[in-house]
Amino acid sequence: MSQVVDDIDLCNNQGQETLSASRQLDESLQQILRDMHTIQDNSQRIAAAIEEQGSVMNHVSESIAELNTISENNMRSAQQCLTEVDTVSRQAHAMDEAVAEFRTNRD
């Protein structure tokens, strides 16, 4: 009879250990789930940030292209201005020469 009691006590102890291990396993699984949710949330934030950076990069690229166009237009305008300045300078020089022909010396 004492063997039966010992076996029952052993079963009870093993049952308690199993229950304790099961609770620890449950807590560990719950922590894993919380960690997985945290990782998923972080991944979503990272994905949103990457998408936003892509949008910003597209905007920056468009702005650079627009600035390039403006710079090219400014360069063409500056070249036209230089051409006009050269033309006016030649005309002024020609006018100076023409006026010089009509000058009289007053002594």
Enclosing H/E stretch for 106: none
Any idea what DSSP says for residue 88?
A: H
- pTM of the predicted structure, to 2 decimals: 0.54
pLDDT score, position 107: 53
Q: Is 104 left (phi over 0), alpha (psi -120 to 50) or beta?
A: beta
| Rounded-to-integer distance, Cα 89 and Cα 73, Å | 24
**Residue 1, SS3 per DSSP:** coil
At 80-99, the pLDDT tens digits run: 999 999 999 999 999 988 88
Average pLDDT, the chain: 93
At 70-83, the pLDDT tens digits run: 999 999 999 999 99
pLDDT beyond 80 at 27: yes
Residue 91, both tokens: 């005309």
